[in-house]
Amino acid sequence: MSRNYRAELVGVFGNPVDENPTGVVEEAAFAEMKLDFRYLTIKVEKENLCAAMSGLKAFHMRGINLTIPHKVEVLKYLDELSEAAKIIGAVNVVVNRDGKLWGENTDGKGFLLSLKNEKAEVKDKKIVILGAGGAAKAISVECALAGAKQITVVNRSPERGQDLVKLISEKTGAESRYVSWDRTFEVPSETDILINGTSIGLYPDVNSKPDINYDTVTSSMAVCDVVFNDPNTLFLQEAAKRGAHTINGLGMLVNQGAMNFSLWTGREAPVAVMENALKKEFGL
């Protein structure tokens, strides 16, 4: 009887990527489901993405995650996109379907599920998001599609911020506005949900926090961070001091990891196992 010694390969392309714990989550799920898959954490610099995507096909990899700085640039190498990815204009997971590369964005979906699990409602709420990059764009669009009343995009680059506002206005029913982040940002008192959609605070930049007036954060707000390493960011620590309901990036990471698992394997993800693996990794 012949045996198959070849594992199915998936992974992540990014830079920085050394501290990305997604592999811990996915490998725990593969072990639980007794699947011969391996998750590779691969450093790919911006100028080498084309070669990396060719390698994905050459190695017959089942798929790949994309993180900074590749979520938008990868679009040019894909054959098909999900409807959500078309609207968002960024991809964080690719599935290799017999040599055809299909892209999806699970950032926003994973984020919304983490809010739901924390009993934080999006519908009819006023949301402020810091940043307008790939993750911020995905989250903004998904929040708008979920019925957010108003989304304020705060970003240093006017072009990128205004483009996101235009996208939200044209593709969803949510009211949207852009605020230039050219000075310390004052969070509007009527804000329901404040989101750090930037990479500020991501390892090794753990001693940094977004430039906002933290005394404008109130106890009536839910304050969320997409940063997962370290999950206890200075941004969230400052918000917690003001009595806000804080939500770290671990839930978003687990939820999108579960979606990625299902896309690559066709199996339902063991979410509890994945969550426990991540908590153990971070000593929570």
Buried/exposed 240-258: b ≥16 CB within 10 Å, e otherwise: eebebbbbbbbbbbbbbbb
Dist. CA 71–CA 262, nearest whole Å: 20
Dist. CA 42–CA 48, nearest whole Å: 12
Place of tokens 């699990």: 117
Preceding peptide of 158 cis, ω within 30°: no
Q: How far is CA 168 from the centre of its chain?
A: 18
Q: DSSP label at 206?
A: T
Catalytic residues: 71
Dist. CA 235–CA 233, nearest whole Å: 5
Total Cβ atoms within 10 A of residue 182: 10
**Residue 8 tokens, joined:** 């199915």
Q: DSSP label at 219?
A: T
Place of tokens 């009211």: 175
Dist. CA 278–CA 158, nearest whole Å: 36
